[in-house]
Amino acid sequence: MTRMMHSPALMLLNASPRLPLIAALAVRFAATVTKWEQNRRTRLNLGKLDDHLLRDVGLTRQAARDEAARRFWQG
């Protein structure tokens, strides 16, 4: 169910202080889009959990709905 979206190469590039400005902006944009996609998938999957699994992670159905309804860009 969970799909991790870590990209070691992207993280390494993002931390590099020697990238040209346009490359640094492109890497930052790619990192942001990757995080947004991770948020979207996580919230989509959270909205599909049944009550038993929600209890396991300590969430109520309403809390899961509220989180699932958030926009992907909201942290």
1-5, 8-12, 35-39, 68-72: segment of lowest average pLDDT: 1-5
CB 46 within 8 A of CB 14: no
Q: Please tell me the distance from the alpha carbon of residue 32 to that of residue 26, in angstroms, as a whole number.
A: 10
Residue-level pLDDT at 15: 65
Q: Which residue in the block uniquely carries the two structure tokens 């809390």?
A: 63
Cα-trace Rg, the chain = 16
Tokens at 68, concatenated: 């699932």
Sketch the domain layout of the chain as residue ranges: 8-69
- The mean pLDDT of 28-41, rounded to a whole number, is 93
